[in-house]
Amino acid sequence: MSTSFTIYPAIDIRGGKCVRLFQGDYAQETVYADSPLEMAREWVAQGASWIHLVDLDGAKEGLPVNGELIKTIARSVSVPVQVGGGIRTEEHINDYLEAGVSRVILGTAAIEDEPFTERILRRYREKIAIGLDCRGGMVATRGWLTTTDVSATELANRLAQYGAETFIYTDIARDGTLTGPNVEEIFALARATGKTVIASGGVSVLDDLTALHRYAGEGVGGAIVGKALYTKAFTLTEAVSWLRECE
């Protein structure tokens, strides 16, 4: 399998602002920008080829809360965006896709309503990504507030049979911690499913991207980067230059 590698700068939205959480804890929030739209434009200016948007309020409430802002961002930037958080119905999916969102991420719905997910995957195919947010290898749902007894690999293999082509693997224990991604688990998931897996959580230095990129030809399709960019551990411009050198 040959997979291109993409860096996805993350914009997590809560209360209309660009924030980051520590290990998914809503009580441990840092506000990095008042305007997610301006943040998106800044990432594009620095060379982003995709943008990753998360409606944190939506993930918690079970329906899009910052949807209008997200749709404005999708219409306002010149690169594709992917969106997750609170997307539980086909109406939510259509609403985003019609507004210009390129890929919609299903998380809670993918595990709590498998017949729905099967139908959506068969209909929308590559416009759907499956978000696997995990604690100890087990999938968490509802804004990471509930941990299930279903393993990421078990769920991913089932959904791959329905047409899932892209998975986003988040190790919750590493998210927002700058402790490095769980490269072994991410690669193991790509190998087990034969599908594209995007890493999320823990990237702190360019060497972390190098460790992931090593498996780009074997299904690891990129990395979502948040806190490292916001704390200026490295810039997106530097990461884009690094990627050009790698490829």
State the catalytic residues.
Answer: 12, 133
Cα–Cα distance measured from residue 186 to residue 189, given in angstroms and rounded to the nearest whole number: 5
Hey, what are 114's tokens? 């498998």
Q: How many CB atoms lie within 10 A of CB 88?
A: 18
Distances (CA, A) of 144 to 53, 92, 147, 176, 235: 16, 20, 7, 14, 28
Q: How many CB atoms lie within 10 A of CB 30?
A: 13
Hey, what are 43's tokens? 């990432």
